[in-house]
Structure 1
C-alpha cells in the first residue's frame, strides 16, 4: 500500500470516527448544537506527514568551521528539543464536528436505540395521485394494461383448448356417432362443440370407425394430454383477446396528511432542583426535542416552568431558571391543558407532554390533581422523568404514584435518570412503547 492509499485510509477512518450517538447524548456538549442542526464531535485521526529538521546542519560527516576538540559541546539544544520545563502550550487540541439535521438525527437514534416511531397524520391536506395500481374497464389507450389483457387471453386459450386427437379416438368407438361423442366429451369437461365433432366425423375413414370395441377400451389405451403441456410443446400461434378483457390503469388516490406535533416540556424549578438535576433534565429533553422535530413535518414546542405556580417560558430560560418556592406539579398540567385546548386541538395535532423533576410534590397533589389532569389531557404520550442524582429523597413519591396508577396504560411512561448514563434508557422508555 502506497502513501496515497495510506492517506485515503486515514481520512476514511477519521470520517467514520464520529462520536457514538449514545455517548454524545449522555456525556457530550449539547450546547454546541442548534434547534435545526445537531453537531456531533468527530474524533480526529492525525494524518502522517514528513517533518523536516529546522536546524542548519551540514551533510553527513561535515562539521561547521573548525573541527571541535574532544569534550567540547557540539551545539546548544534548540528550543523545545527535550526541554521539559518550557511554558505550557496555549493552543487547543484539534477538533471538528459532524453536523446533521433533526431528521437525520432521528434516523440515527432509531438505529442506535432500536426505535421505530411512526408519525401519525392528523389532517388530510390534499389528495394526490399515487402509483398506477388501480384498474378500470375504460380509459385512454395509453393506459391499457397489456399484462392483464394478455393474462386474460391466455386463461381463455387454456379454457378453450382441448386434445383434438383424443376426441377423434372417441369417434372410432364401434357404434358411436357425433352425438354420443359430444355427450361423452361434455361429461369429461372437454370444451368441444357439436359442429367440430360432426366435421371430424365426416372426415373419418370408414375403416377406422370400429377401432375400439368400447369407450372404456379407448380411455384405457389412449392418454389424454393436458392443454398446458401441449401449448408448452407446440407454442401459441394466437391468443383469443376479447373486448371484455381490456383493463386500463389509473393512479390510486392517496390522501396526504399533515403530521403536526406539539411537545410540551414541563420542568420543576423549585428550590430543590439544583444544578445537577437541571443538567440531567436538559440532557434528556434536548435529544427528545430533536428526535420529534425530525420525525414530524411541523413541530412546535411549549416550555412550562413551575414551582407552586406555573408559567410559560422560552427555551433558553427553561433549563436555567430556578426559584426558591415550593412545588405543586398540578399547576403545570393546568397550564398545559389551557394552552393545548386553545391552540393545539388533538384532532389536528399530535401531542407529547413531557415533565421532569425530582418527584417532590405538595401533599396529595399527585393523586388528587395531577393524575386526573393527565387522564383528561389527550396525548400520544405522557411521560415523567425523575432526576435524583444524590439518591432518592424520602418524600420524592410523585414518579412512583404515577407509575403505579398508569401501570396498564401504554401511553404513559415513567423514567428514572440518576446519572448521565441513564439518559438513553429514559429516552427509549419514553418512545419505544408507543403504539404505531
Structure 2
C-alpha cells in the first residue's frame, strides 16, 4: 500500500469515527453550524508522516557553539517556538459537514424515525399518458377500441335467438301479444313490432294464418324441447357482419393531468423568555429545536421558519435573537398561541404542512393553560403541536403546563409533550416529538380528536 492509499484510508477512518450524532446533538457545539450546513467535529486520527534528522554541522553530539568547556553554564532552551510568541497559532480542527438532507437521513437511522412528508401546494400540472376519456374531443383522439367495445356491448345486449322466438308463434292458441309477453318473461330483448312482422311473414310463406301452423300445445312444451342459443355462441359460430354504432358510443382520449405537489412546511418555534428561563433552560431549548429545524429542512422541499417569544406578551423575533433573548416579565403562554394563529393565516393548511413547537419551564399564569392555551391549540390546524418542558433537575411544583396539556390532549394523535431535564434527554425528546408526527400521518386536528370525530394514533 502506497502513501496516498494509506493517507486516504486514515481519512476514511477519521470520518467514520466522527462524533456519534446523538452525542453531538446532546453535548456538541451547535453554534458552529448554520441552517443549510451542519458542521460536526471529527475525531482526529493522526496521519503518518516522515521525519528527517537534520543534524547541525560540526559533528555528532556537539553543542551549538562547539564542545562545551568544564564549568560553562548551560542556558535552558525555551519551551516556546523558536520564532514568534509561544502559542500564537491554534490547533487544527476538522469537521464533517452535512447538508440538512444528509442530517435527516442520519437522524432517521440513529433514532429509528420514519417521517414521510406530504405534498401540499400544487406547483405544476403536467400532461401524462392518454389514459382519460371524454365524450367530446378532436377526431384524431377517438378511442377506436372503446368505440368498438361499446357498440359490441350494445349489440350483444339487444341480440336474441330469432328462430327461438318464431317458434313461439307456433304455440296453439297464441297470438302476437301472447308471444311478446312470453318472450319478455324469458328476458328476451324483442319488440312487439318485430313479433308482428315475423307473424305476418310466416303467414305469407305458408299462405294461411299462423294459427294453422300449431306445433306446440303450450309455451312450456316448447321450452322443454327447444333450448335458446346464447348470442355469444351464435356470434362465435357465424361471426358478425357489422356492429351498429351510435354517436353516444364515441369516446375521445385525453391526457391524464398530473399534479406535482411541493412538500413544503412552515415551522413556528415558540419560546418562553420570562424571568424564570435561565441560561441552562435556554440551552436545552436550543438543543431540541435546532436539530429539529435541520431535520425538517432536510425532509421537505421548501421550509420556512418563524420565531415567537413570550413572557406575559408575545412578539416575533429572528432566529439570532430567539435562543438568547430574555425578559424579566411573567408568563402567559396563550399570548404566544394568539400570535401563532395570526402568523399561520399566511400559510393555509390546505397548501402548507404546519408545525408548532413550543418550549418553556411549564410555568404559566393561573388557569391560562386550561382556559386559553388548549382551546387555541385545538383551533389551530397543524400536522403537529409539541411542547417541550425544560426543567433542569426535574419539574418544579408550580410547573403544571406540560402535565395539563398531556392529560387533556395527549391522545389526540397530533400533540406531543416531551420533558428535558439534562442534555442526555434531548434525543429522547426529539424522538418523542417527530415519531408522533410519523405515526399520526393523516391524523385529525386536536379539536376533531378531542370532540370524538376521529380516532388519534397512540405514541410510542
Tell me which interval the TM-score lies in, with the shorter structure as reference length: 0.5 to 0.7
Instruction: Pick from 428, 433, 436 the counterpart of residue 430 of structure 1.
Output: 433
Residues 213-236 of structure 1: CA deviation (Å, up to 9, x unaligned): xxxxxxxxxxxxxxxxxxxxxxxx
Q: CA deviation at 1:10?
A: 1.3
Q: Which moved more, 1:117-126 or 1:412-421?
A: 117-126
User: Residue 49 in 1 paired to residue 49 in 2?
Assistant: yes
Is the CA contact (8 Å cut-off) linking 1:271 and 1:323 kept in structure 2?
yes
The aligned residue for residue 102 of structure 1 is 100
1:288 maps to: 292
How far off is 1:14 after superposition? 1.8
- Equivalent residues of 1:305, 1:318 under 8 A apart: yes
Q: 1:408 to 1:303 in 2, by over 3 A?
A: same
The aligned runs of 1:118-157 (5 Å cut-off) are 118-128=116-126
For 1:274-304, what per-residue CA distance to the aligned partner results, in whole angstroms no more than 9, with x for missing partners?
A: 0000011011111111111111122111111
- Tell me by how many angstroms 1:64 deviates: 5.6
The alignment status of 1:372 with 2:370, answered yes or no, reads: no
Other-structure match for 1:353: 356
Q: Within the alignment, does 1:410 sit opposite 2:420 as a pair? A: no
Shift of 1:370: 0.5
Once residues 406 and 299 of structure 2 are traced to their aligned partners in structure 1, the CA distance between those partners, rounded to angstroms, is: 27
Q: Match of 1:308?
A: 312
**Is the CA contact 1:44–1:94 (under 8 Å) kept in the aligned structure 2?**
no
In structure 2, the partner of 1:159 is none
Cα drift, residue 395 of structure 1: 0.1
C-alpha contact 2:333 2:364 (8 A) present in aligned 1? yes
Question: How far is the alpha carbon of 1:308 from its aligned partner?
Answer: 0.6
Distance (whole Å) between structure 2 residues aligned to residue 260 and residue 79 of structure 1: 64
Instruction: Give yes or no for the alignment of 1:262 onto 2:266.
Output: yes
Alignment of 1:185-200 (within 5 A): none
Which of 104, 107, 111 pairs up with 1:113? 111
Structure-1 separation of matches of 2:367 and 2:332: 10
Q: Decide whether the 8 Å contact of 2:39 with 2:95 is kept in 1.
A: yes
CA RMSD of aligned residues (A): 3.6
Inter-CA distance 292–49: structure 2 relative to 1 (3 Å threshold):
same
2:384 corresponding residue in structure 1 = 381
The match for 1:324 is 328
> TM-score under structure 1 normalisation?
0.66
**Stretches of structure 2 lacking an aligned partner (at least 5 in a row):** 80-84, 134-139, 141-235, 239-252, 442-460
2:182 maps to none
User: Residues 193 and 392 of structure 1: is their aligned pair in 2 closer, same or farther, counting only changes over 3 Å?
Assistant: closer
Structure 1 position 5, deviation (Å):
4.2
1:67-86 to 2 correspondence within 5 Å?
79=77
Residue aligning to 2:27: 27
SS of the counterpart of 1:47? coil
Distance 1:29 1:109 in 2: 17
Give the structure 2 partner of residue 197 of structure 1. Answer: none
Displacement, 1:398? 0.4
1:8 alignment counterpart: 8
* Cα distance in structure 2, aligned partners of 1:116 and 1:133: 35
How far, CA to CA, are the matches of 1:274 and 1:417 in structure 2?
A: 14
**Cα–Cα, structure 1 residues 18 and 406, in superposed 2: closer, same or farther, change >3 Å?**
same
Cα distance change on mapping 1:9 and 1:260 into 2, 3 Å: closer
| Contact in 2 for aligned 1:43/1:95 (Cα 8 Å) | no
